[in-house]
A and B are shown apart, each in its own frame.
Chain A
């Protein structure tokens, strides 16, 4: 399991101080420049070596394909995004509840944790057909697949987060005669948020993948459907356009969660800076 989110890059200080626009440009300009260069080399290579479009379409052809049936691809993108967000939300909420139960009941955790970890390793391509069989042909079955994928990472991270509180802080709450609910709401839950966001960021990726894979298995709309049909007709520019859109919704969704994280736990990443000195 990868944890790309656990190495924070702290741009906050620069972002708020004075030259906010300059800072934004400083962040955006290098990848933009790299994009232009890569697209240019790509375009030139396709022209120069006369690479056929079904092997590698030129960026311009992908762009034309995107513009030409933009409305259609945008509609499919919206459906996939909806499935991903809905599944993400449902799966994450249910996962959080199970994580809370695990953190508070050792017996429950001992009994069920091995199965949760095992279930977490099931490949989505194996489970998707089963779930679609259960939930039918429509959008709900796609949501169920993404919810399934989002469930386990959050259950595990929520449990770990709730167990990761500072024991001296717990003593402070004890001496102050805090109720169990106060300990949860004012101490354990806030302490768990860094872990929760590790889980949520994993789920962002999983939910987009999950929605598209579910659409592969069976669908009449969505980006997975577009990719499958484009592949069957060897309409590679359209396939690349769909792939581009799936990357874009993944990035936007991730950025949204990362923004919420920054707003909710500004204390965390900089706390790590302090520890590292």
Chain B
């Protein structure tokens, strides 16, 4: 097998204590098509996320939430400012397998069984078969899919497919997990259950998570901080600290503190709409 892309030597490694994810004056401008005005998908994004933190990005459609994640995953090159993961540019972080990405669509390979789907990133990395399968089995158990290793994606429900996608994203043990509305297409009950499991998983694995969602209640339940964004230009208008005690459960949503935070979030969101 031809070798995968190799990371280039990264400058400035180990230069003191840094935020795990760092955005400084980040800007993404799409050129306007045929005379139309250029679109400011992201403007002046300043964000620091420490190791093990869970941060949600919320905002109206077109506010650049997904664009921000895609910049961090090196799927989009920013037009201005800097983004760094573990003090590396996104490209280096990606080539070092420091980033995991879970999309709204599970995007599993239909011709592979669950085991081979979960092991895919390790396979692409060149990890020997026995080793990557052992790791995949571990993760499959971790996300609650034990017994479905030999199933094909089409035999799984939407929730199970998303579990497999999460396990796949975790296979290379990335330090930063980017999740773009991973539960957006699921029904409420499945969504609640996966929220709960993600809460536990992110705590136990000490993953740094950037989580895009449309649901303020989901954001408050899961996060240490919620970044509320506004559209055109896409910018962060408010960072809400979520100081609800951990461990949280679905019942955390029935407390007054939760309701207060959710209400605040909704107000800020509405202001954001007013600005645009």
Contact = CB atoms under 8 A, between A and B. Distances in A.
Q: Do A and B come from one complex?
A: yes
A268 interface: yes
A178 B100 contact: no
B2 A181 contact: yes
Interface in A241-274: 265, 267-268, 270-271, 274
B97 A176 contact: yes
A177 B152 CA distance: 24
B136 interface: no
Q: Interface on chain B toward A: helix, strand, loop, or mixed SS?
A: loop
B10 to A, nearest CB: 14
B110 to A, nearest CB: 4
Interface in B43-94: 73-75, 94
B105 A168 contact: yes
A176 B172 contact: yes
B124 A175 contact: no
Contacts of B123: 186
A182 B124 contact: yes
Interface residues on B, range: 20 to 34
Contacts of B154: 267, 270-271, 274
Q: Interface on chain A toward B: helix, strand, loop, or mixed SS?
A: helix
Given A175-B100, A177-B124, A267-B110, A182 B2 contact: yes
A177 B111 contact: no
A182 B107 CA distance: 17
B75 A169 contact: no
B107 A168 contact: yes
Interface string A160-199: 0000001011011111111101100011001000000000
B4 A177 contact: yes
Nearest to B171: A176
Contacts of A166: 105, 107
B4 to A, nearest CB: 5
Given A177-B5, A267-B152, A171 B107 contact: yes
B110 A268 contact: yes
B184 interface: no
Nearest to B120: A176
Nearest to A183: B124
B4 A179 contact: yes
A186 B101 CA distance: 19
Given A190-B109, A190-B111, A175 B125 contact: no
A187 B121 CA distance: 12
B3 A179 contact: yes
Contacts of A270: 154
Contacts of A187: 109
A123 to B, nearest CB: 38
A119 B172 CA distance: 49
A25 to B, nearest CB: 28
Contact of B110 (A168, A172, A175, A271): A271
Nearest to A182: B124
Contact of B121 (A169, A176, A267, A268): A176
A166 B103 CA distance: 12
B99 A175 contact: yes
Contacts of A186: 109, 120, 123-124
8 interchain residue pairs of minimum CB distance: A168-B107, A176-B121, A181-B2, A267-B110, A175-B101, A178-B124, A267-B111, A179-B4
13 contacts: A171-B75, A171-B103, A175-B75, A175-B101, A176-B124, A176-B172, A177-B94, A177-B95, A178-B4, A267-B110, A267-B152, A267-B154, A271-B110
Interface of B: 1-5, 73-75, 94-95, 97, 99-101, 103, 105, 107, 109-111, 120-121, 123-125, 152-154, 168, 172
